[in-house]
Structure 1
Amino acid sequence: MVERQDAEYTVTEQCELLGISRSGVYYVPTVSERKIEIMNYMDEIYTDAPTSGQRKIQTELEKTYGIKAGRDLIRTLMRKMGLRAIHPGPRTTVPNATHRKYPYLLRGVKVTHVNQEWSTDITYIRLKHGFVYLTAIIDWYSRRILAWRLSNSLSSDFCVDVLLEAVGKYGWPEVFNTDQGSQYTSEKFTKCFEDEGCTAKLSMDGKGRSLDNVYIERFWRTLKYEDIYLKGYMDMKECFKGIKAFIDRYNDRRRHSSLVLPVFLDKNPVIF
């Protein structure tokens, strides 16, 4: 997907054009085909029932797919996929106890306009012979996907990249909501909200609150059922093209779903 010997564009420039993480170019996941198969089934189980933890996944693997997998293996693969089994459901990031946590600012808030509240998350995307991670930012009012990135690793880099891309297109929101995963509590990510010029407040989900990021979770479900599971992408390049086409169509549907739906255009919302 990225040509390291390209004479016209640097690796960084190619990554920016393709919307993928720079760190992901140099990292290749080393997971056996058998484990990838199990992870793909686990992804289906979780997508269908987001409250599934280790026990539920273990039971469903055997009941639905005839796969007997030990508790330790399931937990290891959940960590690899970025799933954390907490009540009422798993999350796609894992917290770091040494990082600063921010308060949840959206409790009881009525969303009335674009750029009021944004949220972000990470999800596992299966390929024919591997997997990648997808992060995206959604506007709570318009429900449009503002920016997204693919990566081979769960580093904080692609979370920062997608944030800066969205801000570059639409300016800062009033509140930016994440979960308490280590990617979002990292100094590299939180520093973006401390820099001069940032007008957004950083909000973090309450511990164990799967509904705090409900809009992005719904988008993951739609993406996987309507595209990922049906297409079976071979590699990251094919996956990128497919997801881009899907998000373009998804945003277009959001744009035309209401005659008064606000749409982002050159950092200013307009009414259609």
Structure 2
Amino acid sequence: MAGRRRQRVEHTEDWEQLRLLVKWPEQERYEEIRPLVLFGDSVFERTEETRTSERTLYRRVESFERDGVESLFATERARRKVLPPWIRGLIVNLKAEYPPFNLNEIANVVYVHSGRKPDVRTVRNVLEGSALPLKIVRLFDPYHQIPDGRERRIAVVSLHSSGWSAKAIAGYLKVNRDTVYEVLRRWVREGPDGLEDRKRGRPRGTGKVDLRTMNEVRRLQQNPGLGAFRVHAALKQIGIHLSERTCGRILAINRRIYGYEKPKASGAGAKKPMPFASSRRHEYWTADVRYIDEHRVLSEGRLYVVAILENHSRAILSSAVTRSQDLSAFLSVLYRAVERYGSPEALVTDSGSIFLANRAKAIYDSLGIAKHEIERGRPWQSYVETAFNVQRRMADWHFAKAASWPEIVQAHDRFVEEYNGQAHFAHLGREDGRRSPGEVLGWVTGVRYLPEDLERAFFSTRHSRILDELGYARFRHWRVYGEEGLARKEAEVWLQERSLTIEYAGEALSRYDVEILPGSTKLKGVSRPELFENSNVLPQFRLFGLEALGDGGWLKSLKLDEYAPRGSRRPTMLQAALFPFLAGTGG
């Protein structure tokens, strides 16, 4: 006969003896409340025996009567260590019903059924320790195999109410995820009525194309460079949602009625490799310059547009219309881009001299920007070229109509705002629904700099000055004219080896030829002043034009006296005594 496995102990009700026999805290808690629960003993007497507070015993008795043995476990983890059998069976059945279920999706479905979400590791352990049953009958047939349309949509709503995700529903019913979202939106918006079948198409007598829409399209079509896609994007920006094909049909009707010109084809060929394609925002910026040949401002001659574009979002970060394509114009645009968006990882340009100048390279190095050039003869490698092609369609017609410099600046600024806000062809396939360059760029910036650090990076070329009450700026012992209408405003002085330019908000006010003393930073001479028309308005009209004074009567630049050398602080003579020294001693 086999011996006893456990040592036999005499029965006892003595608490001190019981405490020596129990091995687990849960056993001890049960023994504390067992006489109270089974026999209704006095809580006060049990308190005297166990030295446990009366309130603790009351609380443990209430928990035991409410939750049973589970209340004896002290921690949440201990109470939930073992899942109930029906939850374990639910986990296994869900995996058998739809094998692509991931662990988190199964945990979410369990939470909907039980109000208790197991950890993904617990779900994995349950699946690893159980055999999946063979499913012969599905909960629902595939979506398009269900003959009744209402029953199809009921299947989607039923699975969603059971905790299934839209991704799992789409995979299980073998339908596009957009269809699942549309069914759920109809259910939320209309309730059971949203599950009924509807006639396809728009109801008779209603349409999106009304007189306001036709007038907006006609107004936009006056620009011969805009095609169906650009008109579609412009209408969407003002809240009119028409498809590109509908816009194309309206454009064709207007051409027959009003005789508008048909826009020229873009001539897009085979897709070419882009060596500077970006996978994240502010990885690459691209800078370039284009010419504006057609405009009505006869006094300006040829104009230029200097622009910097972010490759990933295609957003124009900074752009300006300038009268020259010199280093100062480019650095001014670069400064405003870095000031607002931080610095990129790399800057891409062509081999133009303004992009490869020593001063520009020094700024790249101080900001930690890598410099790359596109290959010669391959302009398509520059992303900003595509933006310039869009600008030719959207803005060149307005440039050609502009009769003054402020109108040109206004047309340029309006183009940048509309370009960044309208849908871009490169973003039509994005899954996040972001279509415009501004939406894709969002709030993300590059490496940001403190104002003093940014000024230190541009210290050799850019200098901030406050214009005096007459619009002059003081710079290196010279007084040079900027703009009287900007008195008391902070302007920027851009210095090059042979020229000096005063700008305000990226707009050139005046330019001078300068001569710098060899081996010094002092200006030897300032000559050939050139004042530019700008968009700033004087607070009060002049009685006569300053040009009437002639070059001799109106000084645009004036040499100031050098600062006087600091004198010695040593006294030149001793202070005279008020009375003899001996008179104060009584001698």
Whether 1:124 and 2:291 are equivalent positions in the alignment is yes
Whether 1:219 and 2:397 are equivalent positions in the alignment is no
Whether 1:141 and 2:308 are equivalent positions in the alignment is no
Does the 8 A contact of 1:118 with 1:138 survive in 2? yes
Q: CA RMSD in A?
A: 2.5
- Looking at structure 1, the residues matched to 395 and 283 of structure 2 have their Cα atoms a distance apart, in angstroms, of 29
Match of 1:262 in 2: 440
Match of 1:191 in 2: 362
Does the 8 A contact of 1:173 with 1:200 survive in 2? yes
Residues 108 and 246 (structure 1), Cα distance of their counterparts in 2 relative to 1, 3 Å cut = closer
**Offset at 1:231?**
4.8
Match of 1:52 in 2: none
Match of 2:497 in 1: none
The residue type paired with residue 210 of structure 1 is P
Which of 245, 252, 268 is matched with 2:414 structurally?
Answer: 245
Match of 1:114 in 2: 281
Does the 8 A contact of 1:170 with 1:264 survive in 2? no
Residues 204 and 194 (structure 1), Cα distance of their counterparts in 2 relative to 1, 3 Å cut = same
Which of 181, 185, 204 is matched with 2:352 structurally?
Answer: 181
Which of 369, 384, 404 is matched with 1:235 structurally?
Answer: 404
The percent of aligned pairs where both chains have the same amino acid is 21
Match of 1:205 in 2: 374
- Looking at structure 1, the residues matched to 313 and 375 of structure 2 have their Cα atoms a distance apart, in angstroms, of 24
- TM value normalised by structure 2: 0.26
Range with greater deviation from structure 2 (245-254 or 106-115)? 106-115
CA deviation profile, 1:66-90 (whole Å, cap 9, x unmatched): xxxxxxxxxxxxxxxxxxxxxxxxx
SS at the partner of 2:324? coil
CA deviation profile, 1:7-28 (whole Å, cap 9, x unmatched): xxxxxxxxxxxxxxxxxxxxxx
Residues 228 and 107 (structure 1), Cα distance of their counterparts in 2 relative to 1, 3 Å cut = closer
The residue type paired with residue 218 of structure 1 is T
Match of 2:327 in 1: 156
Residues 237 and 217 (structure 1), Cα distance of their counterparts in 2 relative to 1, 3 Å cut = same
**Offset at 1:230?**
4.7
- Looking at structure 1, the residues matched to 413 and 285 of structure 2 have their Cα atoms a distance apart, in angstroms, of 20
SS at the partner of 2:441? strand
**Offset at 1:172?**
1.0
CA deviation profile, 1:94-140 (whole Å, cap 9, x unmatched): xxxxxxxxxxxx97455211101110100111321233111001111
- Looking at structure 1, the residues matched to 288 and 323 of structure 2 have their Cα atoms a distance apart, in angstroms, of 15
Match of 1:19 in 2: none
Name structure 1 gaps, 5 residues minimum. 1-105
Does the 8 A contact of 2:345 with 2:369 survive in 1? yes
SS at the partner of 1:184? coil
Does the 8 A contact of 2:278 with 2:284 survive in 1? yes
CA deviation profile, 1:225-261 (whole Å, cap 9, x unmatched): 2221355222322111111011101101148965245
- Looking at structure 2, the residues matched to 108 and 219 of structure 1 have their Cα atoms a distance apart, in angstroms, of 17
**Offset at 1:199?**
2.5
Range with greater deviation from structure 2 (153-162 or 124-133)? 124-133
CA deviation profile, 1:164-184 (whole Å, cap 9, x unmatched): 111111111111101100111
**Offset at 1:188?**
2.1
Residues 140 and 235 (structure 1), Cα distance of their counterparts in 2 relative to 1, 3 Å cut = same
Does the 8 A contact of 1:159 with 1:189 survive in 2? no
- TM value normalised by structure 1: 0.54
- Looking at structure 2, the residues matched to 245 and 208 of structure 1 have their Cα atoms a distance apart, in angstroms, of 32
If asked which structure has higher relative contact order (CA below 8 Å, sep 6+), I would say 1
**Offset at 1:221?**
1.5
The residue type paired with residue 265 of structure 1 is W
- Looking at structure 2, the residues matched to 123 and 231 of structure 1 have their Cα atoms a distance apart, in angstroms, of 13
The residue type paired with residue 443 of structure 2 is L
The residue type paired with residue 281 of structure 2 is V
The within-5 A match list for 1:18-29 is none
Q: Which has the larger radius of gyration?
A: 2
Residues 151 and 230 (structure 1), Cα distance of their counterparts in 2 relative to 1, 3 Å cut = closer
CA deviation profile, 1:187-217 (whole Å, cap 9, x unmatched): 121111122xx1321111222221221x211
SS at the partner of 1:161? helix
Residues 235 and 131 (structure 1), Cα distance of their counterparts in 2 relative to 1, 3 Å cut = farther
Does the 8 A contact of 1:132 with 1:236 survive in 2? no
Does the 8 A contact of 1:117 with 1:177 survive in 2? yes
Does the 8 A contact of 1:144 with 1:254 survive in 2? no
- Looking at structure 2, the residues matched to 118 and 186 of structure 1 have their Cα atoms a distance apart, in angstroms, of 18
Residues 109 and 137 (structure 1), Cα distance of their counterparts in 2 relative to 1, 3 Å cut = closer
Residues 147 and 109 (structure 1), Cα distance of their counterparts in 2 relative to 1, 3 Å cut = closer
Whether 1:167 and 2:345 are equivalent positions in the alignment is no
SS at the partner of 1:173? coil
CA deviation profile, 1:125-158 (whole Å, cap 9, x unmatched): 1321233111001111100100012211121111
SS at the partner of 1:219? helix
Does the 8 A contact of 2:305 with 2:320 survive in 1? yes
The residue type paired with residue 225 of structure 1 is R
Does the 8 A contact of 2:275 with 2:381 survive in 1? no
The residue type paired with residue 113 of structure 1 is R
Residues 186 and 227 (structure 1), Cα distance of their counterparts in 2 relative to 1, 3 Å cut = same
Residues 125 and 142 (structure 1), Cα distance of their counterparts in 2 relative to 1, 3 Å cut = same
The residue type paired with residue 146 of structure 1 is L
Does the 8 A contact of 2:399 with 2:408 survive in 1? no
